[in-house]
């Protein structure tokens, strides 16, 4: 496999693939409540700062596609600097992971790191790559033989993006990437060959 950067600095206004796994590929989600708690923390720490495009949580890793907002409000101050926004969002991700790891360590009576030390972030600058990434994230549980049909997996964003019920996913951004809801659904009906740098675990 050719080399590529899996950690790029987060910047305001940009699209990213964020992912990480448990230390030594160990379990990070033990119960349904754990999955739900992680999703709740995503909203708490990230929703004011990013647009959620896709996610998938699997027993020992997760994938997330986001667009970082162009402007954020932090401690009552409006920030529009791309690098400053990136620093804020990076710290919010760290807070999310630390908070979640502390809860799991308490639950499982364990010590030490839960996740690999540094979460991975790849900036997405190509439209075709972005469409394939969103498909890749949703297809992930089927790829890893967690479920026979990825469209029925509970802990991904596919169902939320496929319907009309209230959601914290930013459907308008996702539909714009695929032209519309029909384009989103059509794209997910077919297998798409993985790009080399999407093979991450």
Asked whether residue 172 is assigned to any structural domain, the reply reads yes
Q: What share of the chain has pLDDT > 90, as a percent? A: 84
- In a domain, residue 169? The reply is yes
Under the banding of pLDDT at 50, 70 and 90, the label for residue 197 is: low
Q: Are 156 and 62 in contact (CB under 8 A)?
A: no
Residue at 151 is within a domain: yes
- Structural domain count of the chain: 1
Q: pTM score, two decimals?
A: 0.91
User: Does residue 196 form part of some domain?
Assistant: no
Q: How far is it, in rounded angstroms, from Cα 119 to Cα 7?
A: 8
118-150: pLDDT as tens digits: 899 999 999 999 999 999 999 999 999 999 999
For the chain, what is the mean pLDDT?
91
Q: In this predicted model, what pLDDT tens digit does every residue of 86-112 receive, in sequence order?
A: 999 999 999 999 999 999 999 999 999
Tell me the backbone φ, ψ of residue 53, rounded to 5 degrees. -105, -35
Whether 126 is covered by a domain: the verdict is yes
Q: Which domain holds residue 81?
A: 15-190
Q: Classify residue 3: in a domain, yes or no.
A: no
Helix (H) or strand (E) holding 152: none
Residue 83 lies in a domain: yes
pLDDT band at residue 3, thresholds of 50, 70 and 90?
Answer: very low
pLDDT band at residue 52 under the 50/70/90 scheme: very high
CATH number at residue 104: 3.30.70.1290
Residue 1, pLDDT > 90, answer no
pLDDT at 170 over 90: yes
In a domain, 200, yes or no: no
Indicate the angle between helix axes 32-46 and 82-108, nearest 10 degrees. Answer: 150
What are the beta bridge partners of residue 7? Answer: 121
């Amino acid at each position: 496999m050719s080399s590529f950067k899996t950690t790029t600095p987060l910047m305001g206004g940009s699209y990213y693939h964020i992912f990480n796994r448990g230390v030594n590929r160990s379990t990070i989600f033990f119960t349904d409540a754990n999955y739900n708690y992680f999703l709740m923390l995503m909203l708490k720490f990230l929703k004011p700062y990013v647009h959620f495009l896709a996610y998938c949580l699997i027993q020992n890793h997760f994938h997330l596609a986001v667009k970082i907002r162009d402007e954020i409000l932090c401690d009552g101050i409006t920030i529009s600097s791309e690098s400053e926004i990136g620093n804020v969002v990076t710290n919010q991700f760290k807070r999310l992971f630390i908070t979640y790891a502390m809860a799991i360590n308490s639950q499982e009576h364990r010590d030490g790191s839960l996740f690999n030390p540094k979460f991975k972030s790849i900036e997405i600058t190509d439209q075709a790559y972005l469409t394939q990434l969103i498909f890749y994230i949703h297809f992930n549980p089927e790829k890893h033989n967690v479920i026979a049909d990825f469209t029925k997996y509970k802990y991904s964003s596919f169902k939320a993006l496929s319907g009309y019920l209230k959601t914290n996913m930013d459907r308008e951004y996702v539909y714009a990437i695929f032209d519309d809801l029909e384009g989103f659904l059509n794209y997910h009906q077919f297998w798409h060959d993985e790009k080399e740098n999407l093979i991450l675990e």
